[in-house]
Amino acid sequence: MRTGLEGKTALVTGASRGIGKAIAQELAAEGANVVLASRKQEALDEVAAEIRAACPEVGVLAKAAHVAREEQAQACVEAAVAEFGGIDVLVNNAGTNPYFGPLVDIDEARATKIVEINQFSIVRWTQLAWKASMAERGGSVINIASVGGLSTEIGIGYYNVTKAAVIHLTRQFAMELAPQVRVNAIAPGVVRTHLARALWENNEEAISKYMPLGRIGEPADIAHAAVFLAGDTAAWMTGETLVIDGGSRVRASIS
């Protein structure tokens, strides 16, 4: 599969670990320069060193930025353009979930934080990438949603509300930014990440038995899909959400 990503530049938020790190690694393996964004510079530097060792032919820029801080987001996008001349791929991956419980008990402070990071940061970073580069040179935006945005679930309902918003933001941006920019989303199921640890750490065996494909997801499972969406092989695809969940959403139809 020829992705056409060689020499392109990809900016990945939440790139210091988990799905974001895996996506950055896979994009670099396809020949793309990568800009790594996350809150902690030290963690980003470690990922950058790993990518440089594995893919010495690509450029790597590690730039600490909190996705909910406008000035830091602006500085990161400007640094990417200064270093590589523009941004071809934006991966809005950063997410958080500081609350577990019913909607009737969530407080405004934590609800606001979830919205700022999971939902509005996608608007902010897409705006910045569009105005800085993509409006002229085109590109691809990939938003990391969740299968939770397609259903209801006990405990993480407000997180899922914001992920449902991500899915609709993807469709709205796809309409508004066409034809220059394609915008798609990925909706992962349970993946072995730090953010999702509470969902799998103490019951991985039981969850794996429930999955038609017999295991929980790995960050690389999502990264492979991101490479597809970023590259030329998805050139006629926009406004869509790829569900990658090990088959969990079809489990009820299997005897």
**Within-domain flag for 197:** yes
* pLDDT > 70? residue 209: yes
Average pLDDT over residues 66-80: 98
Q: Give the model's confidence band at 196: pLDDT under 50 very low, under 70 low, under 90 confident, else very high.
A: low
- List the one residue out of 205, 108, 219, 198 whose CA is nearest residue 154: 198
Per cent of the chain over pLDDT 70 is: 96
* pLDDT > 70? residue 201: no
Average pLDDT over residues 139-157: 95
**Within-domain flag for 52:** yes
**Within-domain flag for 150:** yes
3-state secondary structure of 51: helix
Q: What angle do CA 212, 214, 218 make, to 5 degrees?
A: 110
Q: How far apart are CA 17 and CA 194, in angstroms?
A: 8
* pLDDT > 90? residue 251: no
* pLDDT > 60? residue 144: yes
- Tell me the pLDDT tens digit for each residue of 14-69: 999 999 999 999 999 999 999 999 999 999 999 999 999 999 999 999 999 999 99
Strand partners, 61: 35
Strand partners, 35: 11, 61
Q: How far apart are CA 37 and CA 62, in angstroms?
A: 6
* pLDDT > 80? residue 130: yes
Burial class (CB in 10 A: 0-12, 13-18, 19+), 105: exposed
**Within-domain flag for 66:** yes
**Within-domain flag for 2:** no
Q: How far apart are CA 234 and CA 189, in angstroms?
A: 22
- DSSP summary character for residue 52: H
* Residues catalogued as catalytic: 159
- Tell me the pLDDT tens digit for each residue of 49-59: 999 999 999 99
**Within-domain flag for 4:** no
Q: Give the model's confidence band at 255: pLDDT under 50 very low, under 70 low, under 90 confident, else very high.
A: very low
Q: What angle do CA 101, 105, 106 make, to 5 degrees?
A: 80
Give 58-72 as a DSSP string. S-EEEEE--TT-HHH
Average pLDDT, the chain: 94
- What's 45's domain CATH number? 3.40.50.720
**Within-domain flag for 206:** yes
3-state secondary structure of 90: strand
**Within-domain flag for 1:** no
Domain count, the chain: 1
Q: Give the model's confidence band at 205: pLDDT under 50 very low, under 70 low, under 90 confident, else very high.
A: confident
For the chain, where are the alpha helices, taking DSSP H only? 18-29, 41-54, 70-84, 108-114, 121-129, 135-137, 157-177, 197-200, 204-210, 219-230
pLDDT score for 254: 52
Residues 6+ apart with CB under 8 A from 208: 214, 215, 216
Contact indicator for 86, 133 with CB cutoff of 8 Å: yes
Contact indicator for 38, 16 with CB cutoff of 8 Å: yes
Please give the residue range of the domain that contains residue 16.
9-248
CA 171 to chain centroid, in Å, comes to: 16
Contact indicator for 109, 149 with CB cutoff of 8 Å: no
Residues 6+ apart with CB under 8 A from 209: none
